[in-house]
Structure formats: C-alpha cells, structure tokens
Amino acid sequence: MSDATKHLLENLNALAAGLFLLTGFGIVATRQARGCLNLFIAQSLLLAASAALLGLRYNSAHLYGVALVNLVSKPIIVPWLLRRTSPAGIYTRREIDQVLNIPTALLIAMALAVGSYFVGIPLAKAVGPDVRGPNVPIGIAVLLLGAFTLTVRREALPLLIGLLAMENGAFLAGIAIARDLGMLVELAIATDGLIIVFIMGVLVRAVQKQVGTTAVGDLASLKEGSPEAAADEALL
Amino acid sequence: MSIIVILLLPLIATLLVCVRLGKRWASGVTVVFCLADLILVARLAWLVVAGVAPAELRDAAWSNWIAVDGLSALILLLIALIGTTAAIYSVGYIAHEKPEPKRLRLYYANYNLFIFSMLAIPVLAEPTLVWIVVELTTLCSALLVSFYNTREALEAAWKYVVLSLMGAGVALFGFLVLFAAMHAGGGGTYTWAGLLAAAPRMPPMLLQAAFLLILIGLGTKVGLVPMHTWLPDAHSQAPTPVCALLSGIETTSILYVILRLFPVMQAVPGSHAETWALVLGLISAGTAAFLLLQVHDYKRLFAFSTVEHMGIILTAIGLGASANYGAMQQILNHSVTKSFCFFAAGAALLAMGTREIAAVRGLIQRSPAAGAALIFGGLAITGAPPLAIFLSEFSILKVGLTQGRYVAMGLLATFIVIAFFGVMAHLNRMVFGAPTIAAPQHHQPETAGSFRLPFSCQLALILGAVPVLVLGVYVPKPLHDLLAMAAAALTR
C-alpha cells in the first residue's frame, strides 16, 4: 500500500470520526425521539465506516468483522427489536421541558468534548506510535456525551440511545487501541447490546401500562424523607 | 468437566422451568438444580484447596477461557450457597403472593438465568468476557427487580438498569484500555493470569487509567458512594429472595472483578490503587452509616447496610496484604449474614404487610419467628459478638491499628458503631412494644393475631442462621485454607 493511499484512508477515517462526534452532539440536543434514533443509526454506520477504513489501513480482518457486526446489529436489528418490544408511542414523543435548555446543554457538551481531547491525546500516545487519528479523543468525548444525555433527558427512547451511544464511543476508541480483541468477544458485545434494547423495551412497555407515560426520567417517588411526603407524591 | 457442568445446570433449569407442569414444578426444579450446583461447587472448592487442578484447567485450550483459583472458588461457593437458600426461601414466599402461573415461570426462569450470569463471573478468565457477564447480571435481574410491576418497582428497575449500564459503558472502555496496555507491554494472552505476568512491562499510565475507569464503572454496580443512588431502591423493591441475592452476592461478585486488578496494579510502583480503595471505602461506609439513621423502610435499612459493608471490605483491601485475610472473611460473613437479614425482613413483611418501620410494632407477638430472626439478623449484621461479622471486623481493625493507621481505623470504628445504633434503634422499635396491624400494601395479612410463616421460609431462616452462628466462633480448616488462598490471590 502506497503512502498516499494510507494518508487518504487516515483522512477519511478522521472525517468519519468527526461526523461521529457531531451525531453525539445531536443526540444531546434533538427533541424529537424519532430524530434521536436516526442519529444513533447514522452514528453506528459511521462507527462501521471507521472500523472498515482502519481495517483497510492496517490490513486487519478483525476490524472488518467489527464493521460487519455494527452494520447488521445496530441499524437493522435494534429498530426492529424496539418495534417488537416497546409501545409505538415512544417514537412520536417530543420533549418540551428538558432538565437543561438546549443551548446550556450544548455548551456543557462542548466543554466535555474539549476536555476529552486533553485526556485522549496522551492516552493514545501511551499506547504506541501507530495509534494516530482522532479516534481515542472522539471516542472518549462520545462516551461522556452519552453519559451526559442520560442526565438531561427524560424520555425513554433518548435515554436508551444515550446508553448505546456510550458503548459506541467506547468502541470507536477501542478499534484504534485494541485492534485484535477477538471475534468471539466482539460478537458477545453485540449480542449484549441487543439484550439491553430488549430488556429496556419491556420495562418501558410496563411503565407505560402502569404509569401512563414513557417519560421515565420523571419517576421519582423513591427517596429518603418523610413517608407522608413520599405518599403524597405518589398520589400526584 | 465439572466447571462446565456448574455453568450448564442453571441454564438447563431455566429451560425446564418454562415447561408447564403444575404449580410446584418451577420452584422444585430450581431448588433441586441449585442444590446440585452447590454440591458440585463445594467439590470444586475442595479440589482447589487440596491443590488438584480440575481436568479442563490443565488443558491449554480451556485455560485461556476459564480459570479457578482460591478467590474464584470462594466467590463461587458463596453464589451457590446463597442461591440455594434463596431458592428454598422463594418456594413459600412467592407462592404466598399467589402470582399467575405465567409470572411464576417468569420469576424462576429469570432467577436461574441470574444465578448463571453470576456463576460465570468468577469462572471466566478473559476480562472482556467477564465484562459481558457482569452486564448480563444486570439484564437478568432487571425483570426480577420489577417483578411486582408497581410504580415504585418499575422506577427502581429503570434506575438500576440505566445507572448500572452507564457504569458498564465506562468499565468497557477501561477493559479496552487494559487490553491496549497489555499490547503496548509486549502482548500475551488476555486473561487475569496473563495480565499478572505482563503487568511489569505495561505502561503505568495506561494501567492506571484502566484501573480508575474500571473502579468507577464497576463501582457503580457495587454501590460505592457516590454512585450508590440506585442501590437502596433496587435492593428494597425487588421480591425479598431476590434482595438476598442482590445484596448478598451480586455486589460481592462484582467487587471480585475489581479485586482482580489489585495484584496487577502492585506491579506499578506508586500506583496508589490501595489509597483509592481506602478512601472510597471509608466514604462509602461513612455515608451509608449516616443514611441508615433516617430510613423509613426496613428493607432499605438493610440495603444501606450493604453499601456500608462494601465500604468496609474495600477499606480492608486498602490496608494492604496483611488485611487481605480479614477482607476475605468479611466477604464471606457479609454474604451469609446479609442474605439471612433479608430473609428475616421478608418474614416480617409477610407477617405485617408493610415495609414502613413506623407502622410495625410488636412484631415478636404477631410472629415470634420473624421477630426473633429480625433481631438476630440486626445484631449479626452490625457486628455484635460472638457472631460472624464481629470476628472479621475485629481482625480488620486489629491489622489497621498494628499498622498505625489510627485516623482511618478510628473513622471506621465510629462508622460501625453508628451503623449499629442506627440499625438496632429501628429494629428494636419494630420488634418490641404493643402490636399494631398496619394498613396493608400488597401483602394482605389473613387474620389478626398470630401469623405462621410458610415452611420453606422457616427452613431457609434456619439454614441461613447456621453459618452466621458457627463462623463467629469456629472457622473449619478447609474453609480457613480457602480464605487464605483467596487472600494470597490478591498479592503478587
């Protein structure tokens, strides 16, 4: 492989990683639940693209495997599973009152992304000289953005997407630093992601049936304090 | 073969439970299979203590995937033991609530899957696979936590899943960094043993980053403060036998994964892994001791006590090699005692029909068995002599004091005393005094006056009390050897 091709592949990978970061911001800020799911699908496709490009660059069959697993499980099986398990209403939900308003949330998200750059670069350097490109800092950034999504959203679907985005972020960094992890592990992790979607879908359906809402973030009757106050809140 | 069989038995039980054969089929199958697993695990632990490696561990093709040493054997033994007593307890407890046959099958199928996922943690040798089974413990127990389908149970299950998986996401990155660290240090097989061998060559910075990510990520599931917020909810809303599993062994088996990293970290000079453990442990024990004072729900009381005990174990690990035996003894004693406490709390719940501490008075008159068990459990879990936990807490404090760590040990002793008064003040008010019949929640007391516990609950209470009593005065020689081997696995 010529140096020019290598260079091109690295640049394309950087482009995919950059777009990956953008989808992370999108998941924090998109009000429409359906939009969140679409952004997550785009994010998984970009992860697969990054794995394929790095696979070409380093000639690693294992990375092609990662790309294939991501291509099949997340854009196809996850939406299918969601349709099967959870109430149809979760797609059309819009969050009017988020915990933080969108500009503030984006500002904090930006700070997280910048912070993860300062952590990610030395970490990538410590792994070895052949870990180039922005995969590690952007992976950490999306990991943190996913965790941040979990703290600001209340609707079930965006919360689930936040969890899966964290895993995507860990993987984007992982394909750069742990290139030959083993196919069995890879498949097991993909299956695990699907079990997460299944269990959470079942829980959301039960919540909707019992409580009549899918804004699971608003459930807050369990806490310390006087039992009367807790009972009052449960009645409201 | 035996190790594979140990993992297969709960899976076979899961399949059998789904067959529709009468009312007692599901519970019977679960008890029989758990008991068979306990016998196999006890035999395995015996072999490990005797120094005979089971057949598949001598074969290189297997040893890259599964490994059992003293530490794994101890955790396996606890999982199988508590799994069995909780299964016996479930028979009468779940039948008492008269669920539909479909929900009964769902309960036992999830129960067996949950046991399987926990048994796989100490057996697997490859860290990323361990991460996956840790995720499975969350996913298999989520539907057990939400079993009652009430608003509160669903909220607890949701919080449990979201926070545990959030922690797992951080831990996944930690395990990938650990793999990268090993690769940067010249490679080797990615197993606990391989890590131990490769540790001196790994870049210290990566190793430290991986340690902190895994400590924070899995610490969420262990219930370390400040990541503990989900634990009292999930550990109090689940059906009581499941609470015994969650508090008694799930937290411990996740802590086991963190413990596996300590010998690896000792290869790095100045890694401060022990200091992290000591500080996080003291914060957890202290916060939980104060939160214990203001609970209104007696199952939450025991849940906070779990946070406190995880803190005590981590503090002991932070004291270094000489306290490792005490830490292992504390793990053993906490598991047997905490599961007994939840059995007692469940008996009180059956008798009184409410979880409110303020609504329960004179329990000992309504149900002498439940009242006596609750007081005994309270004394045992807070470390009253001559019961099991007193012995291990005393040995931890003794090691700390001989090392001259007066401030840390003073704090730890204070927290233990605060927790003692917190727990006993609440339980004392519940057990003695004039009896009241409280407004029922979802357990309807059939008649006023005295209440008779289901036979299987009585049996589980008796079986659970035996180790709490015996281990306080006498540790059998094979068990002592196992604890010593487990402690030795924590140092290089």
The 10s digit of each residue's pLDDT in A112-122 is 999 999 999 99
Q: What does the pLDDT read at residue B448?
A: 54
Tokens 């149970």 correspond to what residue?
Answer: B153
pLDDT at B212 over 70: yes
Give the bridge partners for B29, in sequence order: none
Give B-chain residues touching A146 at CB under 8 angstroms. 169
CA-nearest residue of chain A to B140?
Answer: A199
Please give, rounded to a whole number of angstroms, the shortest distance from the CA of A102 to a CA of chain B.
22
Q: What does the pLDDT read at residue A218?
A: 79
Render pLDDT for B150-171 as a digit per residue (tens, 0 to 9): 999 999 999 999 999 999 999 9
Please give, rounded to a whole number of angstroms, the shortest distance from the CA of B465 to a CA of chain A.
30
Ranges of residues in chain A with a pLDDT under 70 are 96-97, 224-236
* Residue ranges with strand state E in B347-477: none
Render pLDDT for A42-83 as a digit per residue (tens, 0 to 9): 999 999 999 999 999 988 888 998 899 999 999 999 999 988
Give A-chain residues touching B137 at CB under 8 angstroms. none
B129, B233, B294: residue with CB nearest A222 = B233
Render pLDDT for B22-54 as a digit per residue (tens, 0 to 9): 888 999 999 999 999 999 999 999 999 998 877
B155, A222: Cβ pair inside 8 Å?
A: yes
Structure letter (DSSP) for residue B490 = T
pLDDT bucket at B383, cuts 50 / 70 / 90:
very high
Give B-chain residues touching A181 at CB under 8 angstroms. 128, 176, 179, 190
pLDDT bucket at B438, cuts 50 / 70 / 90:
low
Give B257's contacts (C-beta < 8 A, 6+ positions apart). Answer: B121, B130, B134, B214, B218
- Dihedral of CA B240/B245/B248/B254: which sign? negative
Q: What does the pLDDT read at residue A235?
A: 44
Give A-chain residues touching B216 at CB under 8 angstroms. none
Q: What does the pLDDT read at residue B21?
A: 85
Q: What does the pLDDT read at residue A224?
A: 65
Q: How many CB atoms lie within 10 A of CB B449?
A: 10
A143, A203, A220: residue with CB nearest B169 = A143
Q: Averaged over B212-231, what is the pLDDT?
A: 94
B154, A206: Cβ pair inside 8 Å?
A: yes
Q: Is B21 helix (H, G, I), strand (E, B) or coil?
A: coil
pLDDT at B316 over 80: yes
Would you tell me which residues 249-308 of chain B have a C-beta closer than 8 angstroms to some C-beta of chain A? 291, 294-296, 300
ipTM of the complex: 0.92
Peptide linkage before B435 cis (omega within 30 of 0): no
pLDDT at B109 over 70: yes
Please give, rounded to a whole number of angstroms, the shortest distance from the CA of B410 to a CA of chain A.
28
Give B-chain residues touching A195 at CB under 8 angstroms. 135-136, 139
pLDDT at B258 over 80: yes
pLDDT at B302 over 90: yes
CA–CA distance, B12 with B8 (Å, rounded to integer): 6
pLDDT at B442 over 60: no
* Residue ranges with strand state E in B319-375: none
Q: What does the pLDDT read at residue B436?
A: 63
Domain total in chain A: 1
Q: What does the pLDDT read at residue A92?
A: 79
Looking at A86-218, list the stretches that DSSP marks H as alpha helix, in order from N- to C-terminal side: 102-127, 135-152, 156-177, 183-211
Q: What does the pLDDT read at residue A25?
A: 96
A222, B129: Cβ pair inside 8 Å?
A: no
A178, B183: Cβ pair inside 8 Å?
A: yes
B146, A206: Cβ pair inside 8 Å?
A: yes
pLDDT bucket at B492, cuts 50 / 70 / 90:
confident
Q: What is the dihedral of CA B375, B379, B380, B385, to 10 degrees?
A: -140
Q: Averaged over B182-192, what is the pLDDT?
A: 87
CA-nearest residue of chain B to A156?
Answer: B158
Q: What does the pLDDT read at residue A230?
A: 47
CA-nearest residue of chain A to B300?
Answer: A224
| pLDDT-above-70 percentage for chain B | 96
- Give Cα separations from B440 to B96, B437, B444 (angstroms): 15, 8, 6
CA–CA distance, B122 with B68 (Å, rounded to integer): 7
Q: Residue A128's domain spans which residues?
A: 3-235
CB B17 within 8 A of CB B130: no
